Chains A and B, each alone.
Chain A
């Protein structure tokens, strides 16, 4: 029998994104890239960004990892594509708040949107890094080109 906590963690949308990740490709025309790495479990992500002016025009990623990290990367790319760098930063900060278990009332629900499927991760402290790896990598990529981030 699968517990309700587990169902909460592995929601349909997460499983679906982990099996069929969106934007799962290298961008030939990327002008920013960054790599993320979780040495504890071996999750790896390479992020490709095409930033024009202040906007994320295109985004793609490759790598390997657990369902949470893969789904998070997939949904991150889908949710920041077309947004400005600043909007993406704000979204990450909302996402981070949600994962650190801050009261949901404080969250900006319109901003967080579909990403709320990850709220169950806050019940699993060791998995928070899996869900934030792609976002940390995004931040590194937006700040500079060719940076590597590490969860440890």
Chain B
């Protein structure tokens, strides 16, 4: 490339970053957002639970069922070839999106939960034994606690919990103290679904690799909101759910380093995961098919591929920057509300804001906001130990996506004032 065009490419990139985020344009891609609930425009602030779907994802699924539907990897007919191509293309799109070395390292599962269960059962039951230790953190979602408890029960391993401080940050020094020769697995969330904390996963992975243990990163809350590069992180496993990143429900991804996945036994048996079957002996298929027994969620995979294409076009850097703006605006306006306490005030946070109101239960907050058309989550967020850690029975949680606006945050604040009025 000539110097001149290189420079103009750099300028072009700078310009891109500086262009203000056109949220109104992106909102138009989401048909559900134009809806009214109880006669009021919907304000959807429950994105950590699930995100809305852009038209392109809805259309892609529609088109698949209207024109391409067939089973994959076995039909010799035209439609089957079309469906297989679309399915395989989505895997490659996801590999590139995450920066995985090879597409066979991308395993389709139902969601982050199934991905963690797969690793716990397949890797855990094969390579861990009684007395070994598994480390998780005090801010995990139940999906990153219970599969390890089940494994511990099965093999006699021990679960250790890395503590967090009052702002919701992981205590790295304490984490380091937990690491020992006994540590045989570490599983940690990239971003806490309740507190919004962005964990220093790269540092944790480096520390953990020094003692030779593998690390699983739960990326359910990170992949839709910040750029993720698996090569840079160097984690051994990574999981996420499609529906939290503008794709369909029932589909998610487990990434694993090929050398580990190769050594792991299948998680489920069935069609597509075998090379040959006799009643005496079955030979398993190669990666990734070894872990994809049965007819997969084909439309889900193709829909997820479309979602990834969609957000890649907008750009995760831009999305992350815009959501940081939403976060700091929300933090500012909520801190001005008397009697409101934010739960989770880490220095590095994603756009998830949990809060409690003095003497008012989160459930009541949720109902009153709902009446104003504002959808938030109220409860324990599938993270009961986090509630215990902060001494609250439940929190209200507003979680944002790039299609949310400052006006919607103003409506949230107005809604909270309504709550205070009811309970005054």
Contacts and interface: CB of A to CB of B under 8 A. Distances in A.
A3 B361 contact: no
B378 interface: yes
B393 A64 contact: yes
Interface string A99-135: 0000000000000000000000000101100100000
B32 interface: no
A68 B423 CA distance: 12
B141 to A, nearest CB: 15
B45 interface: no
Contacts of B421: 2
Kindly state the interface size class of chain A when it binds its partner.
Answer: 20 to 34
Nearest to A70: B361
A69 to B, nearest CB: 8
A10 B379 contact: no
A1 B422 contact: no
A124 B360 CA distance: 18
Contacts of B362: 41, 66
B363 A6 contact: no
Contacts of A6: 367-368, 371, 418, 422
A55 to B, nearest CB: 33
Contacts of B423: 10, 15, 67
Contacts of B56: none
Interface in B323-376: 359-364, 367-368, 371
Nearest to B424: A15
B364 A68 contact: yes
A15 to B, nearest CB: 7
A43 B364 CA distance: 12
A6 B418 CA distance: 10
A70 B364 CA distance: 11
A130 B384 CA distance: 19
A126 B418 CA distance: 20
Contacts of B367: 6, 9, 124, 126-127
A41 B360 CA distance: 14
Interface in B373-424: 378-380, 384, 387, 393-394, 418, 421-423
A139 B212 CA distance: 55
A126 B394 CA distance: 16
Contacts of B378: 41
A42 B418 contact: no
A9 B368 CA distance: 10
A136 interface: no
Interface string A1-39: 111011101100001000100000000000000000000
Interface string A66-90: 1110100000000000000000000
B361 A66 contact: yes
Contacts of B38: 3
Nearest to B363: A66
Nearest to A3: B371
A146 interface: no
A2 B418 contact: yes
Contacts of B363: 41, 43, 65-66, 68, 127, 130
A65 B361 contact: yes
A44 B392 CA distance: 12
Contacts of B418: 1-2, 6
B394 A42 contact: yes
Contact of B379 (A1, A19, A40): A40
A40 B393 CA distance: 11
Most B CB contacts (10 A, CB to CB) among A9, A15, A41, A130 go to A41
Which among A3, A6, A10, A130 has the greatest number of chain B C-beta atoms within 10 A? A6
Contacts of A126: 367
Contacts of B387: 42
Contact of B380 (A3, A42, A124): A42
A73 to B, nearest CB: 13
Q: Which of A2, A64, A70 has the most CB of B within 10 A?
A: A2
A68 B378 CA distance: 15
A129 to B, nearest CB: 10
A68 B366 CA distance: 13
B384 A42 contact: yes
A65 B350 CA distance: 29
A67 B419 CA distance: 12
A64 B361 CA distance: 9
Contacts of A40: 379
Nearest to B395: A42
A66 B364 contact: yes
Nearest to B360: A67
A41 B379 contact: yes
Contacts of A124: 367
A5 B373 CA distance: 14
Interface of B: 38, 359-364, 367-368, 371, 378-380, 384, 387, 393-394, 418, 421-423
- 5 tightest Cβ-Cβ pairs between the two chains A and B: A66-B363, A66-B361, A64-B393, A41-B379, A42-B393
16 contacts: A2-B422, A6-B367, A6-B418, A41-B378, A41-B380, A42-B379, A42-B387, A43-B363, A43-B393, A66-B363, A66-B364, A68-B363, A68-B364, A70-B361, A126-B367, A127-B367
Given A2-B418, A42-B380, 7 more contacts: A5-B371, A7-B422, A10-B423, A41-B363, A42-B394, A66-B362, A127-B363
